[in-house]
Structure formats: C-alpha cells, structure tokens
Structure 1
Amino acid sequence: MVDTIRLLIAASGTGGHLFPAIALAEKLPGYQIEWLGVPNRLETQLVPKQYKLNTISVEGFQKGFGISSLLTLGKLVGSVIAVRKLLKQGNFQGVFTTGGYIAGPSVIAARSLGLPVILHESNALPGKVTRFFGPWCDAVAVGFDVAAKYLPKSKVIYTSTPVRSQFLDAEIVSTLDLSIPPEAPLIVVFGGSQGAIAVNKLVRSCSPAWFEAGAYVVHITGDKDEEAGSLQHPQYISLPFYENMAALLRRADLAISRSGAGSLTELAVCETPAILIPYPFAAEDHQTYNANVFTAVNAALLFKQAELTEDILRSEVLRLLKSPDELRKMGENAKTVALTDSAEKLAQLLREVMEK
C-alpha cells in the first residue's frame, strides 16, 4: 500500500455528474486528487477552485453511423491515448467516474493499465455508457437501488447519491437571504443546472393564482430564458441561479422541478415535496424512471410535460397548498429514497477497492 493514493476523478457536464463527485472528493482528505473533464463544460467553473483540471475532447455517439460517427470514434481513440498518458505520467492508482461520455476513455485507459475503476450511476435507469462499461469496473455504485437490475449484480452496491455537505445541514435554512415572510407558503421552481424554459413559461402563467393564495415563488430560471424578466410581482423572486439552494429547499413548502437524479437526491435529503416534470428529451427518458422512484413512495406528483396544462399545474399546486398534512407526509416519504451518509459509503467503497 502506498503512503498517498493518487486518484483521477472523471466527471463532466452537468451538476448531476459533478456534485456527487465533488461530495465524494471531500470525504477523501488523504488522497491526492486530480480531475478529468471536457473544455467549456460546468467543471471548468467548479473544479479548478479545488482540484487540478485536465481536459480531453470527447463526445457521445448520438446519430446513426456516418462521417460524424467516424469523427467521434477518432476523438474517442485519441482520448483513450491521452488519458492513458495522463494516468501513467501522474502515477495514478485508480479512477472514479460518474458516467457520461467521459467515462468511456477513462475506463478503457485505466483497465489497459491494470488500474481499478469505480463507477457511480445516479439514475434509476443506468445510461448506455454505464451499462456497457459496468462489467469492466471493479465496482458500480448506484444512486437508486432499482438500477441494480440493469447491471452485473456481483459488482453493484447501493450507496445512494452523494450531495454537497450543506444539503445535510438542517440549520442551514437560517442562512436564506431572500425576503420571504416566515409564515408565507413558499414554492421553489428549478430545472436543474441547465434550467427548463418550458416549465418556466407554465410557472409564470400559473403564478398569479398562487400569489392570491398567499404563496411566494422563488423561480430559478437558468440563463437561457429570454423571458425571465417578464413577470414582476412582490411575491415573485426570479433568479438565473442561486448559490444557497440547500437553504431554499429546506425552507420550501413545495418544489416544482425536473427529475435529474442529483436534483431529486437534494429534494430527498431536504425532505421537500415536489411536482416533477421530467425532461422529455432526456436519453432513454431516464428522468421519468427517476421520478417513478419518488411517486412509488408518494413523495412527489409526476406530470409529463406534453400533458401538463396551465389549468392542471395551477389547480394541483393550489390543492397541495391547502393540504399541509399531505405535503408533510410527502416530505417524510422523500427522505426514504436517499441516504444522508451516501458520500461516506461511497468513499469507503472506493478505499476498499483502491487500497486492496
């Protein structure tokens, strides 16, 4: 066993891939950690504050076979060579990845050098990369236990999905710096790290009725919504992003959200009842699979975007606001689908694999 273990974390793209990896890294204080990402993605903003960021150019096979597929294949081969060189020169002892495009070259390069690989899959329906490369890994940790049926059973361990430490602090609600009366019902709307323009439009149309019921709405719109400033009201707070989401979700009486695995885990540990509107173009409709985990325990309501009208959303929210006992029960149910010690469990799994 070496004195200091060097670990390469391959996590890229969205908060759903990055935040669990960051939460894990915080539980490995004795490790020397570097990051592998892609240029111009969220990791270029989040990671360099704490870890050295290495980047490669890689993308997924999105279309039928053709010239673009050959170019993608060429990038994949080049990425494998680049990661292999990085692992050798940096004397890394293993790789941790949260799936996605970047996992492919990372897993191939690590296995070609005989290095251990641990993969974490946060979605209820594992992605194609996870299903393909799972058998190559030493262990596959899953965020929802239902994901195990799609993966090699001998390698799957349920750890839930790690969240940033502030989401586990019940007292963090006291740090909320938005002007919301303590007795007012609060609806929080967010679409994950990329926003949700279709949901934003629905919410702006429905909000006046919610204001009349006394509710405040904090609307995290993302930075791509050109109509973000179109609604003005004393009980409406519109922000492209908000740093202290942990406090906001702890304070919320109800959330309206997409159903990315990371967002759902944050809702669960904060015991926040939700209306879930899965992103309809997510790969293999995996956000619906995620949402189904919550509806199965009555922690959330699920509506398909194509079938959700203003009337339905407006009336369902008003009904829930008048049913505090139902909201409380939904919140209690939500906490049953996530583990508050997920980061510790995942860190212990990684140590067991890396330090054998």
Structure 2
Amino acid sequence: WINFMLDQVGQLLKSGKFNGVFTTGGYIAGPAIIAARLLGLPVIIHESNALPGKVTRWFGPLCSTLALGFESASKYLPKGEKVWVGTPVRSSFLENQPLELPIPEDVPLIVVVGGSQGAIAVNQLVRQCAPAWFDAGAWIVHLTGEKDPDADSLEHPQYIQMPFYNNMAALLQRANLAISRAGAGTLTELATTQTPAILIPYPYAAEDHQAFNAASFVDAGAALVFRQSELTSQLLTTKVVHLLESPQILEQMAQKAASLAVTDSAERLATLVRQLVI
C-alpha cells in the first residue's frame, strides 16, 4: 500500500505540474514528502510545535527546509536545513483592535481560553476561583467551548461567558492575564499580543507536546505553567491574585512574551517558498 500511495501522489504531482510541496506535517504528509523528493521537487515542512511531530522527525531530513515555529524545536532535529520562522497569525493580531464587550477600561481583565475544543477541567477550576478574583477587582471573559454542561452555572456582573469569541486579537490585546492551554496557535497569539499567561497543557496531547510548548514560554519568563493533575483551585486562586497585585511582574512577562513573537512569520514563510519553489 505504501508503493500505491507513492504512485498516486507522484502521478498527482506530475499531472498538476507542481513545482514543490509545502506541508505542516501529520501522517498524511509522509507520502507527499517522499514522492516529491523522488521527483526532485523541493519540500518545505512547517513545524509549529516545540516538540516536532513524528512525521517531521522521520521525514524532516528529506525536506529541503524545516521551518520552525519554536526555535527550541531545532534540538530535536539534528539533521536537515532548519530556519526559525515562527507561526503566522491573522493580520488582525498585528494591529490594535477595539474590544466590543462591556468591560470598563480601568479594570484588570482575565481571559480564559481552553483552545479549539474548550477545556471542561479548566472551566471547573476557574469557576471555583472566580469569587476571589472578583473580590480583587478583576473581570473575567471565559471562553468555555461548546461541550461544557455547566457553562451557564456562574453569573456575576464581572463575568462574561461564551463558547467562543471571534475577535481574539482584541480580547488578548486587552487582557492583563490569560489562562490557557498550550497549543502552538494559542501561544503564537499570546506572544504576538504580549499577553502574560498561566498555561495548563492539555494532558492528553500527542507525546505531551503542549508541555514542551509551555516550557518554551516558561523558560523565557513569559508564563507560569501547571500540570492539570497538580493544579488545585486554591493554588490557581493564589497565583492569579498575586499576579493581579504585581503589575510590574505582569509587565515583565509581557515583555518576555513579545521576545518570542515573530510578527513577520507569514512574510518569512512566503520568502522561503519563493526562494525554493518559484
């Protein structure tokens, strides 16, 4: 079946008169990488995580260039031509965006986001901690995802709950602190918006790759990280209140987050493609 897949992909590449292949990895990329190289076509693979996926580790040495979202990923890829380009974000993140939510300008804002699927365990912790954060003067925007059966269980004048929010650029630009999973896309947005964060890596991510992503932010001083299995409501309450009472620490974390941002990532990738393919 491997030969069949390679033959099918090779025929597609030849019939389409492709000049090269750009991939972001995943098991489906393997045959495309091999077929392209057998045809002498350049291949660029973009790896957004700090721990490269298996396809990147296995087939990366065959590629013309490995484009890295995290500079630290390089140590897991001893072979191959590597370049740090970051991970592109939507253009809205690169400009100041108005936040169209009824939040006073002079209050600290905590944004809770569980990633594309939400995070019920994190949601439960946040609702337990919220009263103490309200007492500290904070407002909370809580993006619960669509699968939390208790999403509507907390009501408070300083609390806004919704499954998702379309203008994440505006929300993170306004936030004083984010509580988040540690997917590569979310961390890229946090770095671009210079948002300090408490990260709770998704414990069931493949090869625990979110923990590696989070470690890059912790090492830079841009975030705190806690394992979900070890995090209690008391610990989370205390850490958040301490940060809210320490604006100088939040400012330092914001500056460190900015140091991780590659705001011209899309341009770097486009230049790489032009150099190798066009």
TM range (shorter): over 0.9
> 2: distance between equivalents of 1:158 and 1:332?
20
Identity across the alignment (%): 62
Tell me the equivalent position of 1:262: 185
> 1: distance between equivalents of 2:163 and 2:271?
36
Equivalent pair of 1:134/1:152 in contact (CA under 8 Å): no
Tell me the equivalent position of 2:176: 253
> 2: distance between equivalents of 1:237 and 1:109?
50
- Specify the SS of the correspondent of 2:250: helix
Tell me the equivalent position of 1:129: 55
Which string of whole-angstrom CA distances, capped at 9 and with x for unpartnered residues, describes residues 162-205 of structure 1? 11111111x21x2x111111111100011221221111111111
Give the TM-score normalised by structure 2.
Answer: 0.95
Tell me the equivalent position of 2:271: 348
Equivalent pair of 1:125/1:150 in contact (CA under 8 Å): yes
Measured at CA, do residues 85 and 192 of structure 1 come closer, stay the same or move farther in structure 2, by a change above 3 Å? farther
Tell me the equivalent position of 2:196: 273
Tell me the equivalent position of 1:62: none
Residue from 108, 111, 135 that aligns with 2:37:
111
Where does structure 1 lack aligned partners over 5 or more consecutive residues? 1-73
Deviation at 1:252, TM superposition (A): 0.1
Which string of whole-angstrom CA distances, capped at 9 and with x for unpartnered residues, describes residues 217-271 of structure 1? 1111112222212212221111111110011000000000011111111101100
Deviation at 1:80, TM superposition (A): 4.6
Tell me the equivalent position of 1:239: 162
> 1: distance between equivalents of 2:140 and 2:27?
36
Amino acid at match of 2:105: P
How many pairs does the alignment contain? 278
1:149 equivalenced with 2:75 (yes/no): yes
Amino acid at match of 2:157: P
Where does structure 2 lack aligned partners over 5 or more consecutive residues? none
- Specify the SS of the correspondent of 1:296: helix
Mapping of residues 1-356 of structure 1, within 5 Å = 80-169=6-95, 171-172=96-97, 174=98, 176-355=99-278
> 1: distance between equivalents of 2:195 and 2:29?
31
Query: What value does the CA root-mean-square deviation take over the aligned residues?
Result: 1.6
Amino acid at match of 1:325: Q
> 2: distance between equivalents of 1:83 and 1:236?
51
Amino acid at match of 2:171: L
Deviation at 1:289, TM superposition (A): 1.1
**Structure 1, 298-307 or 82-91: larger mean CA deviation:** 82-91
Q: Which runs of 4+ in 1 moved over 4 A?
A: 76-82
> 2: distance between equivalents of 1:110 and 1:240?
41
Give the TM-score normalised by structure 1.
Answer: 0.75
